Amino acid sequence: MRTVRDGADALREALRAEGGTVAGVLDRPPPLTEHLDRPGLAQHAAAGPRTCERGREYELLLEMILEGYRLHYDEPLVVRPADADLALLLGDQLYALGLARLAALGDLEAVTELADVISLAAQAHSAADRDLAEAVWEAGAVSVGWGASDPHRRAKERARAHDPEAPGALRAAADALRDSAGAPHCAAAASRAAADARQTPGS
């Protein structure tokens, strides 16, 4: 599976092509940061059964939205403005770019989901609840890749109501959805193709 570093590299190239202010404040991610060399939220979401056939497109738009989130609340990976006010403006721009790409794919369900993620994460940060913000993103990424579920919707309502059990409910809903769906059909198809190739003489 692709890694956070792969996603960051794709994001940097896409934003360089976008031009404007954001193209002038790009940098490479730190070379020796361990978590960058593992799959992240965008990579897992892009590998789900709803998204895997257009996985690179989903990965890139999710990296845009995640970078927008980082510019607001965390350490960005590739967009490094020196000015805090500019960081907020570019964060909003990246939210908009990612959601516009998602809308262009016709995935209105995921547009709604990620709008909820942005809103709920902002609510969590305003309450200094980093655990809730992380759970919102984890569950939101699964919902984009696997589809929403009733437990997930109920967990979001608990988050909106400031229920202290909301982070656990969000993560449980995400785990259940992932476990119940099985392998993405495009991953299964790739496995079948590889098995067929092994069985074909001369392959």
Q: Summarize pLDDT for 139-189 with one digit per residue, the tens.
A: 999 999 999 899 999 999 999 999 999 999 999 999 999 888 655 566 654
Burial class (CB in 10 A: 0-12, 13-18, 19+), 161: exposed
> What tokens were used for 30?
């730190």
Residue ranges making up the domain that contains 156:
4-199
Q: Provide the pLDDT for residue 108.
A: 94
Three-state SS string across 70-127, please? HHHHCCCCCECCCCHHHHHHHHHHHHHHHHHHHHHCCCHHHHHHHHHHHHHHHHHHHC
pLDDT band at 203 (very low <50, low <70, confident <90, very high): very low
Report the number of distinct structural domains present in the chain.
Answer: 1
Q: Summarize pLDDT for 74-91 with one digit per residue, the tens.
A: 999 999 999 999 999 999
Q: Provide the pLDDT for residue 202.
A: 40
